[in-house]
Amino acid sequence: MPRYLSREWLTAAREAISASGALADAAHDVTLTVEQNVVAGPDGDVVFHIVVDHGTVQIAEGQAEDPTVTFTQDWSTASAVARGEMSAQGAFMRGLISVRGDVSKLVEYGSVFVGLDDVLSQLRTQTEY
């Protein structure tokens, strides 16, 4: 069982994303990069990013070259959102997530993130938090 945001978890997420034709279809006309900075985790800080580029969706470790949007949150917030115990919007409204960049793109391309959530739902059930 992979621990959330470990290399093993990122590899499993990458494989799930790559296998999803529905996600590729939802991302057909989308170009967007979202960076996630998660601080104070059990193994220290973790930075990863998701690149959506005209039907291709990839997740990678490290900082993005030019993120459209960057989220920063602590480990407990990221874990609660990942488990579905808290929405990202709710965490943002409570000041638990900070956001930089073009937030309007998240709204415009919301269907891609719904699709991404669906793709990762199986992995969530197999993840240690």
Take residue 108 and report the two structure tokens written for it: 């415009």
Nearest of 42, 81, 46, 44 to residue 63 by alpha carbon: 46
Q: Can you give the pTM of this predicted structure?
A: 0.93
Give the start-to-end residue ranges of the domains of the chain: 7-113
The mean pLDDT value for 117-126 works out to 94
How do residues 12-55 score in pLDDT, each as one tens digit?
999 999 999 999 999 999 999 999 999 999 999 999 999 999 99
Classified by CATH at the fold level, domain 7-113 comes out as: Nonspecific Lipid-transfer Protein; Chain A (3.30.1050)
